[in-house]
């Protein structure tokens, strides 16, 4: 313990060493995000198709998305609390390992044809999604205010490599699974299990010293130097937390709802599993790849402007998805790419707002709590999407999503007036 305190003191007293540590944290988190991105892609791409196959109906096709998103809500809370108490290393490692175990459970469920085990495993698998999102905060722990959005975007853009590769490996992993008499739709979950466990191992081995514990030590050192007590979160800080949370919650509902039912919509109109993988690959690429540019824009143009841009982009995505000809893969790619881009704008601007409004002493706990609401919002979007499509159409779902995204604009205006 004394050795740890001595190391932390070295970073506190040496700005240059702290700067190098900040770069190391970004590198380690980014590396874990490559694997984490590959892990989350399986559930997104084939989760709905797997449920449709095992249950024999479209009405519950949105349930897998709801389950692993609901699971991610519980995991976000636990990972946030673990991170606050023991540091990012312990919290994030635990979440990724749990996600990997959930993916293994999905594979076993398909082998024994157990719907109960499938749903339970998807719930646990959601821990990987939550952890993948929470990892974005780790990069900001040692960043100053002018670097925060860029730090978020750096870790997120690395997710692209795994997240885009995942859906495009659907057919390959399906054939690989069949070699072992595993149903082809369970194949991508083999990739998820390996990827999530690898992400957890990378963080556990390489994320030393822990960035959040180091940020807390710096905060304590600054308090000691000034002989004062750091102020608690003020009313205006709470407003910042509220607006950041609302932006991320609304964008999550719209994105998850439309994304979840796109594979089912495509299969109904004769598109192959490979085509589904390509469309979802473009969508996930648009969720993460623009992050570096988005991060710079959020830092330069401002959190508010980019939040409004998120609402407008999601509206365009909803309208395009609603009126795209069912046989036009190109327009579906554009629509789902816009959907990913709008989510990207909302997540980075909202996350930056949350980081701006919290202190290291409470940051991970607040972030974990907010991610719970984001996950619950996604679960609601996933569950309702199947019901809406079963009772109406994919067009109706897309229009509802586009209109809902417009709520971001009055929320932003209210915040600016307040």
Of the candidates 393, 381, 162, the one whose C-alpha atom is nearest the C-alpha of residue 285 is 162
Q: Give dist(CA 270, CA 55) in Å, integer.
A: 20
Determine whether domain 7-417 maps to CATH 3.40.50.300: no
Question: What was the pLDDT predicted at 235?
Answer: 40
Tens-place pLDDT, residues 132-189: 888 888 888 888 777 788 888 888 888 777 776 777 777 788 888 889 888 888 888 9
143 half-sphere exposure, CB direction, 13 A CA radius = 24
Q: What is the domain partition of the chain in residue ranges?
A: 7-417
The distance from CA 102 to its chain's CA centroid, rounded to whole angstroms, is 17
Check: pTM over 0.85? Answer yes or no: no
Tens-place pLDDT, residues 21-60: 888 998 999 999 889 888 887 666 777 778 777 777 666 6
| CA distances for 139 relative to 23, 34, 157, angstroms | 9, 14, 12
Contacts of 195 (CB under 8 A, 6+ apart): 35, 36, 37, 38, 39, 100, 162, 166
Q: Give dist(CA 329, CA 344) in Å, integer.
A: 22
Whether 414 contacts 108, CB under 8 Å: no
Whether 310 contacts 251, CB under 8 Å: yes
Whether 44 contacts 284, CB under 8 Å: yes
Tens-place pLDDT, residues 293-337: 999 999 889 888 999 999 999 999 999 999 888 778 899 999 999
Residue 171 CB neighbour total at 10 angstroms: 17
Residue 222 CB neighbour total at 10 angstroms: 12
């Amino acid at each position: 313990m004394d050795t740890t305190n001595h190391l932390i003191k070295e970073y506190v007293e040496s700005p240059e060493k702290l700067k190098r540590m900040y770069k190391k944290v970004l590198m380690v988190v980014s590396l874990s995000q490559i694997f984490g991105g590959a892990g989350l892609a399986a559930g997104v791409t084939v989760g709905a198709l797997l449920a449709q196959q095992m249950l024999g109906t479209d009405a519950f096709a949105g349930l897998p998305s709801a389950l692993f998103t609901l699971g991610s809500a519980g995991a976000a809370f636990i990972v946030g609390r673990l991170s606050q108490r023991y540091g990012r290393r312990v919290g994030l490692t635990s979440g990724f390992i749990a996600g990997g175990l959930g993916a293994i459970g999905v594979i076993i469920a398909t082998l024994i044809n157990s719907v109960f085990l499938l749903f339970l495993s998807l719930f646990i698998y959601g821990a990987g999604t939550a952890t993948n999102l929470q990892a974005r905060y780790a990069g900001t722990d040692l960043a100053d205010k002018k670097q925060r959005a860029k730090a978020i975007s750096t870790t997120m853009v690395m997710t692209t490599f795994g997240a885009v590769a995942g859906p495009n490996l659907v057919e390959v992993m399906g054939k690989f699974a069949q070699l072992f008499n595993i149903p082809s739709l369970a194949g991508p979950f083999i990739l998820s299990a390996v990827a999530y466990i690898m992400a957890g191992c990378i963080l556990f081995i390489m994320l030393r010293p822990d960035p959040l514990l180091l940020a807390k030590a710096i905060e304590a050192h600054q308090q000691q130097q000034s002989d004062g007590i750091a102020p608690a979160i003020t009313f205006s800080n709470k407003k910042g937390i509220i607006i950041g949370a609302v932006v991320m919650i609304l964008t999550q509902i719209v994105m998850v709802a439309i994304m979840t039912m796109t594979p089912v919509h495509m299969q109904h109109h004769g598109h192959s599993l490979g085509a589904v993988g390509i469309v979802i690959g473009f969508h996930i690429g648009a969720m993460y790849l623009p992050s570096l540019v988005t991060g710079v824009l959020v830092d330069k143009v401002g959190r508010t402007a980019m939040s409004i841009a998120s609402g407008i982009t999601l509206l365009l995505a909803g309208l395009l998805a609603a009126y795209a000809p069912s046989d036009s893969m190109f327009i579906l790619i554009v629509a789902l790419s816009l959907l990913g881009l709008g989510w990207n704008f909302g997540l980075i601007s909202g996350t930056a707002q949350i980081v701006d409004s919290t202190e290291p002493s409470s940051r991970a706990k607040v972030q974990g709590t907010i991610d719970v609401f984001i996950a619950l919002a996604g679960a609601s979007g996933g569950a309702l999407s199947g019901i809406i499509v079963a009772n109406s159409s994919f067009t109706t779902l897309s229009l509802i999503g586009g209109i809902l995204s417009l709520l971001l604009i009055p929320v932003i205006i209210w915040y600016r007036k307040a």
